[in-house]
Structure formats: structure tokens, C-alpha cells
A and B are shown apart, each in its own frame.
Chain A
Amino acid sequence: MALASPPRSTSSRGLGMDTFSPLKTTPAAHRTGGLDVTLSVNGRDHHLTLDPRVTLLDALREHLGLTGSKKGCDQGQCGACTVHVDGERHLACLTLAASAEGKSITTIEGLAPEEGSLHPMQQAFMDHDAFQCGYCTPGQIMSAVACIREGHARTDDDIREYMSGNLCRCAAYPNIVAAIKQARDQMEGARG
């Protein structure tokens, strides 16, 4: 579906439309043109002017150059676009960028504690060869980190159930479960 057809025109940078103060808006102030949106991504604020149709996923990929979050189905069915919004895993493809203003967004690019290092989950995916083509991997990793934080990775069955929103067409599932268990023990050990 989405893979076969390019995304429709959602890019609207530089339309130069009226400025918009979403946090103070009244019903009379609605606009179909460019919205001034500030997104906080990986600890940095980005000021963008966006068409209201732009999803968080398109804002990340097309406007901020953060292409780690993947567009798989663009319909909320595959999980490849999973990012953290205020620490919870969300689907960026079903989130309007404008509605993400004021939230703290973390993408795969911002997961590692510092430049050049890897998050234990990233290392675990490599250690366990938890992918083949790798397209679903950023979403799997973001989802898996949240899954552990939620306390939903206690057993293999729990991991399978709570990771079911992330599809892997290469079917690397057994290795993904193994990677999550390794990272779980490290993440929980680190927490003390």
C-alpha cells in the first residue's frame, strides 16, 4: 500500500502563511495554512512551519532529516514508526505533528546515552542478530525499550504479546525476543 505509492503532498515548508499560536487559539483562529509548530526532539527544540496534515513521522523524516523512524504502512499497522512521546511508545504515523507540540519526543537517533555509544537495546539487537533487512529495527528497538520500562517484558509470552504491534516481515522474532531479554537484564541492572 504505502510502499507502492509515494506519500501525498504533505510538505509545506515556506508557505509563509499567517502565524499561528496554537496554545492560545480560539475557534475563530483556525487555519488551513502553515502552522508554526515547535517540536522538542531528542532534547532539542525545532521551530517549523507545517501544513496541518503533516504527521509527526513526516516532520521527523522530511523536515528534520531524522530518517531513523521508518515509514512502513503509514496506517498504524506495522510499528516501524514507533517513537517515544513523553517516554511512552507511540506511532508517529498516526500523530499529527501539530498535536505533538509541547511533548518530549525521542527517536532512535536520540536513544543512545551519548554520541558514538549504543543503548543496551541497540547492542543487544546486534549481539543477537535480531534483524535481517533492518527496516523494522528502529521501531522494534524503540518499542522494546518502552516495553521493558512498562514492566511488560517479564516473560517470553509477555514480550511476544506486548511487542505484537511491531511487525517483522523477515520474521526475526525469536532473535528479537532474545535481544530484549538481554537488554532487560542490563537495563534493570543499571537501574539498581
Chain B
Amino acid sequence: MRPFSYERAADMAGAIEAASVASDAHIRAPVQFLAGGTTLLDLMKIDVMRPERLVDINPLAPALSGISVREDGLRLGALTKMSAAADHPDVIRNYPVLAQSLKLAASAQLRNMASLSGNVLQRTRCLYFRDVAWEACNKRNPGSGCAALEGNTRKHAILGVSPHCIAAYPGDFAQALLVLDATVAIAGRDGERTIPFHQLHRLPGDTPQAETNLAPGEIITHFDIPSRPWTRRSLYLKVRDRESYEFAVASAAVALDMQGGHVRDARIALGGVATIPWRASGAEEALKGGTLDESSAKAAAQAAFEPARAQGDNHFKIELGQATLVRALLDAASLEIRS
């Protein structure tokens, strides 16, 4: 690891001030917040991230963590640990897609360490990004090219890709937040702001080094998840190379508002296959107002992957992603919801 300085945030304003340093890429920002550290320290050890200064924001946990269940929804503090949310009885019962996406991620140890906000900001597992021996990586070295395009692409994205980056977004919880219309509350130099979750991550485009719309120094304070007719009929299905403790090859977060076999509203996000947490609007539109059965689920899955651009080793993800979504939709439709 390269040398860095370490300090504990005394308060929110001080932490924001310390990290409000302009940078051309999030990955290269000289000041980084330390929360659970499970991504940051890993990437520092392999020399992908090289911060000069770490600001430990865990002292802010009393203000920034906790789960509050309200009439109109759920509030999750940003520094709440993944395990706390995954094991919370109200989250399990009323927001199953959230609890499942967390329980199926990482390991028990990592879930005890990692914060919810750190989890949604975790960085890609692209092997070319993670290995600095590869010079070409537009995320690490803006403008240097993309080694993955000429390499092994089995684990790379097929949705939201650009000629500059095909790195897959690796998380699970973000897809759950996306289908439940979560909002993200952010504190920064200019005060507080709230954005819809889908505005947090940025498509790689020609600036894959800018992964989110967070400005330097901004801190996520909490997530709000509204209670809606589809929140309880929701689930997360994760398909991976081994049964546990593995990233998704394909996953689907699904939330449905059903009346009998009739779909009033459908909300779908895909993981493992896209460069950002991916909302499958085409599939949602295909399902709305119709009945949900195997053939309509298949049609929706086809619509979801219609914009897919596979390359090299990842053509199989189109079929796998579709099959994952079909199963998720049929499983969600058959859930028994007790009042």
C-alpha cells in the first residue's frame, strides 16, 4: 500500500470540507471516505486506488445509521451495516427484495463491515480494472483504452456498454433500491439534496472514470424507500458460478403489483449484466396491463435484453439473463402475500 494519512471525522461538515477536493476521476480522488473499507482497502492493497488521505466517517455512524419503519416507507441510514438491514424483520417481511439482495451478497463477515452506502458505491470487479499490470483502463487511466474489449469478457456487461468501457456493476442491493423507487439523500458543501436512486450512477459513455453523480466531498446520508403496492410482492434472484459468496453472473430484482393474474405495475432491474444498476423499462412496459404467465414473461425478458450488445465471451448472458428474469417474474407472481 502507498502511504496515506488517516483521520477520524469529527463532524459531518469537517468530513465534507476535507474531501471537497477537485479530481478528474472518482477513483483518483486524493481524499477518500473510509466507511466499512471492504472495497477501498482491497483496491488500495492492489494499487488500484491511491488516496493520500483517508477520512474515517465511522464516527458519524450515530447520525448516519439506523433503520426506521414508517407508515409511508422505510428509511435506511447510509452507514447501516448490510447485515443489520438483511436481518431486520420488517425489511424481510415488507421489503423482501431489499433483504434478499443483501443476504445474497458477499459473506457474513463482509456484511457486518460494509455500509449500505458503500455497498451501492462498490467498484466493478472487471479483472482489467483490478490489475494495474494492464495499462489500458479508461476507468483507472482516463483515455488509455479498454483492455477488456480485446480480452476475456465472460464477466463483463452487455447492457449500458460503451466503446470505452464494458465493466459490469457488481452489486445487488442497488437493483433492489432501483425497483422500489428509492431516493438518495446527500449532504455536501452546498447543503443537502435528494435524488432518485436511478440518478446516482452514470453510464460509462466516454467518461467511465466518473461512476456516479456525487461531487467530491458529498456524503450519502440515507435512503428512503416508499411503501407501494408492489413492495411486498418483490424478490431478488441471483444466478452465479457458485452457490454462495459470489458475484452475480445474472440477477433480477422484481416487484409486482398484481390483481389476480393481471399486472397493474411491474418493476424490474437487472444485475451482473449491465454497467450500472439497470432498470429494464422495456420489459416493464411489455408486462403492464396484461396477464403474467410463462409466455408474457418470456416476451418481457426479450424486451429487457433487446438493447443488449454482447461481445466475445459474454453472448451466453443474453439467454441466461432472460431465463433469470423469467424465473424471477414467475416466482414473484406466485408469492402468497398475507396481510
- Known A32-B5, A89-B112, A165-B245: A94·B38 in contact at CB below 8 Å: yes
Contact present for B108 and A146 (CB under 8 Å):
yes
Minimal beta-carbon separation of A122 from chain B (angstroms): 19
Within 8 A of B (CB), among A65-100: 74-76, 79, 82, 88-91, 94-96, 98-99
Interface-lining segment among A22-30, A39-47, A110-118, A128-136? A22-30
Judge whether B41 and A30 touch: CB under 8 Å: no
Q: How far is the CB of A171 from chain B (nearest CB, A)?
A: 14
Q: Does B334 contact A (CB under 8 A)?
A: no
Docked CA distance A36–B50 (Å): 23
Chain B residues near A163: list those with CB within 8 A. Answer: 108
Chain B 17-42 interface mask (CB, 8 Å, partner A; 1/0): 11000000000000000100110011
B4 within 8 A of A: yes
A94–B41 CB distance below 8 A: yes
- A61 interfacial by beta-carbon distance below 8 Å: no
- In the bound complex, residues from chain B placing their C-beta under 8 Å from that of A25 are 7-8, 10
Q: Which residues of A contact B6 (CB under 8 A)?
A: 22, 30-31, 35, 52, 96, 98-99
Of chain A, the residue at the smallest CB distance from B11 is A26
B93-145 with Cβ < 8 A to chain A: 106-110, 112-113
Q: Which residue of B lies closest to A54 (CB)?
A: B1
Contact partners of B53 in chain A: CB under 8 A? 30
B56 proximal to A (CB < 8 A): yes
Whether B58 contacts A99 by the Cβ 8 Å rule is: yes
Tell me, yes or no, whether A55 is within 8 Å of chain B by CB. yes
User: Known contacts being A74-B45, A99-B56, A164-B245, is A150 close to B108, with CB within 8 Å?
Assistant: yes
Task: Judge if B244 is at the interface, Cβ distance under 8 Å.
Answer: yes
Nearest-CB distance from B107 to chain A (Å)?
2
Is B191 on the interface with A (CB-CB < 8 A)?
no
- Nearest-CB distance from A78 to chain B (Å)? 10
Interface residue? B46 (CB, 8 A)? yes
Asked whether A27 and B41 contact (CB < 8 A) given A8-B1, A52-B4, the answer is no
Nearest-Cβ distance from residue A160 to partner chain B, whole angstroms: 7
Do residues B109 and A82 form an inter-chain contact, with CB atoms below 8 A? yes
> Which residue in B3, B14, B34, B45 is a CB contact (below 8 Å) of A99?
B34
A73 to B53, CA, bound (A): 25
Instruction: Given A27-B18, A94-B38, check contact A161 B109 (CB 8 Å).
Output: no
User: Contact: A90 with B112, CB < 8 Å?
Assistant: yes
A124 to chain B, nearest CB (A): 19
Determine if B54 is an interface residue (Cβ-Cβ < 8 Å): yes
B108 touching A96, Cβ below 8 Å: no
B55 on the interface (CB 8 Å rule)?
Answer: yes
24 pairs, A vs B, C-beta closer than 8 Å: A10-B1, A24-B10, A27-B7, A27-B55, A30-B6, A32-B5, A35-B6, A51-B3, A52-B3, A52-B54, A55-B41, A76-B42, A89-B108, A90-B113, A91-B109, A91-B113, A94-B41, A96-B34, A96-B37, A96-B41, A99-B58, A143-B108, A164-B243, A166-B107
The 10 A-B residue pairs whose C-beta atoms are closest, nearest first, are A165-B107, A164-B244, A52-B6, A164-B245, A30-B5, A30-B7, A27-B18, A32-B5, A88-B112, A53-B1
